[in-house]
Structure 1
Amino acid sequence: MNGGINKNRKFTNLFIDHAALERDLELDQKIEQQREENRRHLRLKIRIADKYRQARETHKQHSTCERLSHNLSLLDKTPIYSNGRELYTLTPQFEKRLFIL
């Protein structure tokens, strides 16, 4: 008789807890939804970063010297140019004339 009891003990663990399975399934679905939302959010961030990168590549950033030459002119409206080391004006023959402040 003891042999029959041992056989029945093997089968006691075969019962399925349907409530636990449903909870696990719901949890898996919530995790998958969260992952999809995170993927969507990352794709949006990458798209925005690409737009910023593209805008920076198409818009030339002027150096400090270039910005200075864009804004610097004499009282008679003669523009002052710079090559990065020195300031100069251009003659009508396009020759550089050194300008000292």
Structure 2
Amino acid sequence: MNNVSVIPLQVSEDFKNQYFNFFYEVAKEAFEAAKQESGIKRYMTKKEACSFIGISFNHFQKLEALGLPTIQIGGKILVDREDIIKFLNQQKSVLSNMK
């Protein structure tokens, strides 16, 4: 029932690269569209970042002290969603290595 035939296909490296880049761009656009639809902004206030992570403001300040990057523009402080994700993943690695 699950008979699968394999047909070898030879293509140039250039074709492989173009094929990969095409699908990479399609996936990237779909991912970006999904992020936009989710309502999560790339740059957030500290309060929005707390809500995004699901922590209190005091705990957020502790993360800042541990090195979570923030951006100050004039009198406003913003946090990049990508920095939050990267920082939390790094902390996960640190904790895993301590076990």
Greater relative CO (CA pairs within 8 A, separation 6+)? 2
Q: Based on CA coordinates, which of the two structures has the bigger radius of gyration?
A: 1
